[in-house]
């Protein structure tokens, strides 16, 4: 598919995805994954991890909750320190953030951790084309406030959790990854935040496992039902804002992003105000064909134009959210419009807080890190106090 140069500008500025969401999976969730056995080849030396983070082998769970056929819970292992010193670890030196690997059956997820293991647990889910590195400012702020923080590189982004086949990247499987990571940490309940695709998966997780969450913080992406309504509105602008998705779903999108020394991919990071040095940790992961292709499979594996179900009068399968929720949207986001953002309150039945960041584009975690840290801590500390 030939994309005009002007359209590329629209695509990378509008950025990607979130938009897509809220929709039913187009692929069967029962297809088993053929696992890639690749392991990171970053040069490095061992990084110490607190003994508190070294967990004993997890017990077998009676139910598989739709996990991949080859992700055997009986083989779940401990969290381990990364045995190599990567370029990312050099970027994070002095922040208190540590790199670990979480083993779940044949999968291994790279993750960043910080804070006391006895603190309030919170998981941070990244978007596209980001990695857990996008949360670096929030990880430090949360850890300093006493939270136990983990930010995993999700399916496809972690080289040890990169199955082949588009069907391996349905939203159902992405949600189950979050559950299994939490299980590996022995977190019975926890706080969950996500940006972009990570926000969509967070919404889905809250809808399926409300008893597992203490609070929910989706950033940029509205509730899937709100998004679906906005996308289907012939008088709205969301469909136009989401027009890039069709290209992302094409097989040739991977090579186009990486052509000319990944100039298109780099332009996205530049729009977030990142320097060449700051974008290096992203490019080390997403700048590789196999990783970027897997990340784009999140788009290819899911349908983004759900029809209205006459029986339920809904377009998505995501229920109203009971979990205390703070949804954050920014006015200069060119991929996610105001309509879906403002409709979201209709699909949260629990406590709800809506924050609007004026004059901020899609890249909230980096463009408006200080403002985001402030509202996140305010919300989270209030939730912790209300429980105490």
Residue boundaries of the structural domains of the chain: 5-387
pLDDT score for 37: 33
Token pair of 132 as six digits: 């857990």
* The CATH homologous superfamily of the domain defined by 5-387: Alpha/Beta hydrolase fold, catalytic domain (3.40.50.1820)
Residue of 249, 230, 336 lying closest to 300 (CA atoms): 249
385/28: higher pLDDT: 385
- Give the DSSP per-residue string, 147-174: -EEEEE--BTTBGGG--BSGGGG-HHHH
CA–CA distance, 13 with 110 (Å, rounded to integer): 28
> Is the pLDDT score of 40 beyond 60?
no
Give the H or E element holding residue 121.
strand 121-125
CA–CA distance, 130 with 177 (Å, rounded to integer): 18
Give the H or E element holding residue 93.
none
What one-character DSSP code corresponds to residue 34?
Answer: B
pLDDT score for 86: 67
> Is the pLDDT score of 66 beyond 80?
no
> Is the pLDDT score of 15 beyond 90?
no
- Give the DSSP per-residue string, 273-328: T--HHHHHHHHHHHTSHHHHHHHHHHHHTB-S-PPPBTTTTBSSSPPPB-S-EEEE
Looking at the chain, the whole-number percentage of residues with pLDDT higher than 90 is 71
Distance of CA 148 to the CA centre of its chain: 18
pLDDT band at 58 (very low <50, low <70, confident <90, very high): very low
pLDDT single digits (tens) 238-269: 999 999 999 999 999 999 999 999 999 999 99
Residue of 79, 101, 106 lying closest to 164 (CA atoms): 106
CA–CA distance, 244 with 8 (Å, rounded to integer): 9
pLDDT score for 375: 98
> Is the pLDDT score of 8 beyond 90?
no
Mean pLDDT for the stretch of residues 56-82: 39
CA–CA distance, 22 with 14 (Å, rounded to integer): 18
Of 39-43, 326-330, 363-367, 377-381, the one with minimum mean pLDDT is 39-43
pLDDT band at 93 (very low <50, low <70, confident <90, very high): confident
Please state whether beta strands 98-104 and 79-81 pair in parallel, antiparallel, or not at all (unpaired). Answer: antiparallel
pLDDT score for 278: 87
pLDDT score for 273: 85
pLDDT single digits (tens) 128-150: 999 999 999 999 999 999 999 99
pLDDT score for 88: 79
Taking residue 78's Cβ as centre, other Cβ atoms within 10 Å add up to: 15
pLDDT band at 102 (very low <50, low <70, confident <90, very high): very high
**Preceding omega of 129 cis (within 30 degrees of 0):** yes
Out of 67-71, 195-199, 278-282, 304-308, give the one with best mean pLDDT: 195-199
pLDDT band at 84 (very low <50, low <70, confident <90, very high): low
Q: Taking each helix axis as running N to C, give the angle between helix 276-286 and helix 253-271, from 0 to 180 degrees, rounded to the nearest 10.
A: 150
pLDDT band at 92 (very low <50, low <70, confident <90, very high): confident
> Is the pLDDT score of 34 beyond 80?
no
Q: What angle do CA 284, 20, 313 make, to 5 degrees?
A: 155
Q: Which residues share a beta bridge with 149?
A: 114, 122
Q: Taking each helix axis as running N to C, give the angle between helix 171-184 and helix 197-208, from 0 to 180 degrees, rounded to the nearest 10.
A: 70
SS3 content of the chain, % helix, strand, coil (to 5): 45, 15, 40
Residue of 264, 311, 298 lying closest to 283 (CA atoms): 264
> Is the pLDDT score of 274 beyond 50?
yes
pLDDT score for 38: 33
Q: pTM of the predicted model, to two decimals?
A: 0.81
């Amino acid at each position: 598919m030939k994309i005009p140069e002007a359209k590329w500008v629209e695509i990378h500025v509008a950025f990607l995805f979130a938009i897509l969401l809220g929709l039913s999976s187009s692929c069967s969730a029962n297809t088993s994954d053929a696992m890639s056995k690749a392991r990171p080849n970053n040069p490095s030396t061992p990084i110490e991890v607190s003994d508190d983070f070294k967990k004993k082998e997890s017990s077998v769970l009676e139910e598989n909750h739709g996990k991949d056929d080859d992700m055997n819970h009986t083989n779940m292992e401990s969290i381990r320190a990364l045995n190599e010193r990567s370029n990312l670890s050099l970027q994070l030196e002095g922040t208190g953030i540590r790199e670990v690997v979480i083993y779940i059956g044949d999968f291994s997820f790279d993750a960043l951790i910080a804070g006391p293991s006895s603190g309030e647990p919170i998981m941070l889910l990244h978007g596209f084309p980001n990695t857990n590195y996008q949360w670096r400012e929030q990880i430090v702020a949360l850890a300093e406030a006493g939270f136990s923080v983990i930010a995993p590189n999700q399916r496809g982004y972690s080289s040890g959790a990169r199955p082949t086949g588009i069907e391996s990247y349905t939203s159902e499987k992405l949600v189950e990854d979050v559950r299994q990571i939490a299980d590996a940490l022995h977190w019975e309940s926890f706080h969950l935040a996500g940006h972009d695709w990570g926000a969509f998966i967070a919404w889905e997780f809250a809808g399926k496992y409300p008893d597992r969450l203490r609070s929910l913080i989706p950033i940029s992406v509205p509730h899937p039902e709100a998004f679906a309504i906005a996308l289907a509105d012939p008088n709205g602008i969301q469909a136009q804002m989401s027009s890039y998705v069709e290209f992302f779903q094409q097989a040739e999108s991977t090579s186009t992003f990486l052509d000319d020394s990944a100039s298109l991919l780099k332009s996205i990071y530049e729009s977030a105000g990142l320097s060449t040095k700051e974008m290096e940790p992203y490019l080390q992961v997403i700048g590789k064909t196999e990783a970027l292709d897997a990340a784009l499979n999140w788009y290819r594996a899911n349908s983004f134009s759900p029809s209205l179900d006459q029986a339920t009068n809904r377009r998505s399968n995501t229920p109203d959210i009971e979990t205390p929720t703070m949804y954050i949207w920014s006015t200069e986001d060119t991929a996610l419009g105001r309509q879906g953002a403002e409709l979201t309150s209709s699909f949260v039945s629990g406590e709800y807080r809506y924050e609007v960041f004026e004059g901020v584009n899609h890249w909230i975690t980096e463009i408006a890190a200080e403002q985001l840290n402030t509202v996140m801590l305010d919300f989270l500390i209030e939730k912790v106090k209300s429980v105490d």
